[in-house]
Amino acid sequence: MKRTCPVLIAFFFLISGCSSDGSDSIAAPDPTLEITSNNALLVANIAYAAALESQQLGDSGGGFFIGSAPGGVTKIAGDVVTAAKSGTGNSGSQIPIPAETVPCAAEGTMTISGQIADIVTPTLSAGDYFQYEYSACDDGLGDVKNGTVRTDIDAFSGDLNTGLFSMTMTFTLTNFQVSIFENQSTTPTEVITSTGGATITADATSFPYVSSSASGNSLVIDTLNSSEALTVFASTFTVDGDVVTSPYTHSSSGTLDSTQLAGVIRYSNSVTFAGLGVDYPNSGEFLVEGLASSLRLFAEDNVNVRIEIDLGADGTIDETINTTWASLTAS
């Protein structure tokens, strides 16, 4: 997938969530990094990757529940049906889903539990939750998961059986860790550690047109090489799977404190990104603000990018860099 970086793909699509704290409102720190001609490309690279972090959060979180097509049994739908078959209660009150420990594909275990109000229809309701506890869970695809992922349903409307529904959910992760192994190595090439929670909204009522959003006060991802801390972040994402080219849009904002940079930056989409399929955006503008300085990234098309640098935050373009999406996002 061209519009995401490998580490983010590995993280978000393996666990369908991430670390954040969307509870009490907090103030984002002011930018402290001076953007210069020397660091502009690095700043643009890291800021765009941070924007994708929150976008992928909403995208993967929505996909976790929506599944691949209407009529398909999603993981959550499967848990609901299991609860219904257990016959442990009546519709209208929160009914526990008995904890069930199942082996992972290669080794380790996953324990599933939760509660649901309507086990007759079945459907989801505010107050329902599902919890997944991983213990050295190896799916045989190169990653091992440990820790707990809990999903609380905040709002739900639509039909689980058809896959046409909208919902708001809160992810909470406790001591969650994903270790990624390559080429049958016994030493992980990446270890991603995260704790916290995030609020995600997904709408598939017009499937295959799907929209999702994510927001929170803070989002922290620690890897072997860096730590990325987002503050007061938000993102929206849409994709129309009914069109052969699968047009998409995404827009993000937030404040980033990264160990890869010597200070804090703030980013936002002044014009929403748009693109087709898995290609890079072919239109849109992205503003990154530093200490008395800024840069603006323009998607010329799905290959080329123009970066305009304002070294004094006075509205004057002091330097322009022409590059490509591939070069900009190269790790």
In a domain, 298, yes or no: yes
Domain of 312 in residue numbering reads as 24-68+208-329
Q: What is the mean pLDDT of residues 80-95?
A: 51
Confidence at residue 236, expressed as pLDDT on a 0 to 100 scale: 92
Percent of the chain with pLDDT over 90: 54
Per the structure block, which two tokens stand in for 250?
Answer: 């995404």
Query: Which of 100-104, 119-123, 322-326 has the least mean pLDDT?
Result: 119-123
Cα separation, 305 vs 296, whole angstroms: 10
Residue 201: per-residue pLDDT: 92
Using the predicted structure, report yes or no on whether residue 75 has a pLDDT greater than 60.
Answer: no
Instruction: Tell whether 159 is covered by a domain.
Output: no
- On whether residue 266 sits in a domain, the answer given is yes
Reported in sequence order, the residue ranges of 223-326 that DSSP labels E, i.e. its strands, are 227-240, 247-258, 264-276, 283-290, 293-299, 304-310, 319-324
For the chain, the domain total comes to 1
Q: Is residue 221 part of a domain?
A: yes
Mean per-residue pLDDT, 226-241: 90
- pLDDT single digits (tens) 138-151: 989 899 999 998 88
**Does the pLDDT value for residue 33 go beyond 60?**
yes
Is residue 12, in this structure, part of any structural domain at all?
A: no
* Residue 92, pLDDT above cutoff 90: no
Determine, yes or no, domain membership for 217.
yes
DSSP string, 33-59: PPP-TTTHHHHHHHHHHHHHHHHHHHH
Give the three-class secondary structure for 91. coil
Give domain status of residue 46, yes or no: yes
CA distances from 319 to 267, 310, 323 (A): 19, 7, 13
